[in-house]
Each structure stands twice: as C-alpha cells, then as structure tokens.
Structure 1
C-alpha cells in the first residue's frame, strides 16, 4: 500500500488566536445576530457587484476612460481573487475550527484543504473598493463601509482569523488598484471602438458619435 505524504498546514492561531476567540465569544453572546450575519456574509458580496453595475451604468454618460475603468473593475476583482486563491494553496493555513476546536463557531467547519489565509470574501470586498476608487469615489466609500462589515463577519462567524482578513485587504487593494489603473489607460482605444460599434447601446447612453475619448 502506498502512503501519500500529508502536507503540513500552517496553524495561524499563534498569531491572533486570542483576538479571534474574543470575537467568537461575542458571537456566542449575541446569538440573535448569528443568522443575519451568516446570511449577509455571502449575500453581501452581491452588494459589490451592484456597486460595480451602478458604476458601469453611470459611466455610459461619461467619457471613454470612465467606461474603461467601469469595465476594468470586475476584471481587477477577479484577478485579485485568483491571486488570493493561489496564496491559499501556497500558505496552507488551516481553518480556525481545526486549531481552536473548543471556540464558538457559527459557520460549519469546512474540509481541511479549504485553507484560511487570505480570506476570499475580504479579498473581493477590498478589491471592489480599490477598483471603484478610480471610477467613482462616492461608490468606493459606500463599498468601503460594506467591506468593513464583510471583513468583520468572516471573523465573527469563525471562518477566518483577523490576520486572514487583514492580509486579504493588504493583497487586494494594490492589486486591484494597479490593474484598474493600467487597464484604464491601455484599454481606452479598444473600449472607444466598442462604443462606436455594435456594443454602443451597452456602453453609452448617447449616440456613439457624440462620445468624447481621452
């Protein structure tokens, strides 16, 4: 019989396990809040999609660079998330429910190979904030408020340590910002052609010939 070696997983409880326990103790003492936050933690990701859709809708009335930034936003979020998933596989930090099994957990414990660092939910939230900052700062501020709630729920429910969400933010903000900034420049000619072609009804709210590019 062939024995396959088991890849050792990193135990993050030594970093901020006490803070994690304090927050999950709060969840134990506020059980009336458990179900609403458990529903929100996944459904809340839709808020960032809605904010990006609003950014796209408003960009239809703006110049081509604004529309380019609007189209770049979901791309930047997706790339940041992909990088976070690769980081998870490389770092292999085991979930808190395995390292601190006696703590209070709202969320069920996932399979052991579903690693913790960085938080995917927090990555999406922070990346949306960064991408929207270049497009519409008011939308970005709204996204930031929801991102704070999203990050808190990941710890409150027991899915992640605080450093998992902090690490996700540190990763996602520069990646999404820089990628959006690059795409917001290099993809302008392509988006200008699309606005003047068959996609004009989707990418502009006024006749294509009236659009200003820069």
Structure 2
C-alpha cells in the first residue's frame, strides 16, 4: 500500500514542468521559507511573537532529534534505492523514515498554531502539507514516512506546549539577551501567557 500510494504521486513527476518546478522549489526551500517567516515574527511582532519563535525552535529541535533516533532504529531505504522512480533531485542514500523536511515543517506550523497565531499557523500548516507531498513527488520519501513525520511533529508540539512553563525560562533568557543587544529592534517586556 505504501509503495502504491508512492507511485500514484511520483508517477506525475517529470511530466508537468510547472508542477515539477513548484515541487522542487518547495522540497528544497521549504525550511528556508519557514525560517524567513519566523524571522519576520521575531523582528516585527510583539514580545509574544518572540516567545512563539523560541517555542517553535525548541519544538523543531526536539522533533528532529526524535527523527534522528527513529531513523537509526527503523532504517528504511529511500524509494529510489529499491525501486525505479521519477527522481527529480539527487539525494543521499540514507534512511527514508521519517522525513526531516516534513517533520521540521509540521513542527514549526503546529508550534505556531498552539500559540494561538491562527492565520500565520494555518498558512504554515498548508505549506507543511505541500512540503510533505513534495517529498513524495520528487522521489525522496514514501507516504508513510510523511505520516510518521506528521505524528512526530504533532506529539512533540503538544508536549512542548503542555510543558511550556518548563521551557519558558529558556525563552525568557534568549529574549532578554536579545533585548540587551544595542541597535536591534526591541519590544517592551511584558508577561506572556501560556
């Protein structure tokens, strides 16, 4: 079933120039787009946005560490290693399970959503879905790799949100340190709710 779903998506690769270009762009630059969004939130938003950015970074780091562990426990060859696929971008022949790109994208999107920035979070979530699809489309992952990534991101983001009081001192130190740097945009200190 996993390979059947993979073929249903990947068989379109290499046949539609616009779609190929879009999927290659998303799969290569998704995390850069997320970084730009978070930087804008940090520099333009109020202090609560800075807390969101720090919590998103913590969520992403924990989720990617979980991926690292899972990739070593459940090694799965990439689709292009064991099958003939429409490979649009070359990739190392490391473990396919789960997808770091997808985990990173969903982790950041969920983290922003849980912090109640609905419009930004929803936009990031839609882009995360596109990122997951693109990873299959270009031939790098199976659909179940993507599903596992979404589950890792969801569990991790809920964990960080549920224990935000544990992580808040870290965020406070980072923001306080930033606010002491001369000549950078600053926001007034204020109490931030969970």
| Length-normalised TM-score, structure 1 | 0.76
Q: Which runs of 5+ in 1 are unaligned?
A: 1-14
Q: How many angstroms does 1:120 deviate by?
A: 0.7
Q: How many angstroms does 1:37 deviate by?
A: 2.2
Structure-1 residue corresponding to 2:6: 20
Corresponding position: 1:117 with 2:97: yes
Distance 1:189 1:99, change over 3 A: closer
Structure-2 residue corresponding to 1:10: none
Contact 1:95 1:116 in 2 (8 A): yes
Structure 1 residues 115-154: aligned runs within 5 Å: 115-135=95-115, 136-154=117-135
Contact 1:56 1:71 in 2 (8 A): no
Structure 1 residues 62-211: aligned runs within 5 Å: 62=48, 67-101=50-84, 103-108=85-90, 110-111=92-93, 114-135=94-115, 136-182=117-163, 184-189=164-169, 191-192=171-172, 199-200=179-180, 204-206=186-188, 208=189, 211=190
Q: Number of aligned residue pairs: give it.
A: 190
Q: Which structure: larger Rg?
A: 1
Q: How many angstroms does 1:41 deviate by?
A: 1.0
Contact 1:68 1:187 in 2 (8 A): no
Contact 2:6 2:136 in 1 (8 A): yes
| Length-normalised TM-score, structure 2 | 0.83
Moved more, 51-60 or 167-176: 51-60
RMSD: 2.6
* Runs of 4 or more above 6 Å deviation: none
Q: Deviations over 1:95-147 (max 9, x none)?
A: 1012212x322122533xx0101011100011011111122122110100110
Q: Counterpart of 1:159 in 2: which secondary structure?
A: coil
Structure 1 residues 51-70: aligned runs within 5 Å: 51-57=37-43, 60-62=46-48, 67-70=50-53
Q: How many angstroms does 1:32 deviate by?
A: 4.3
Contact 1:195 1:204 in 2 (8 A): no
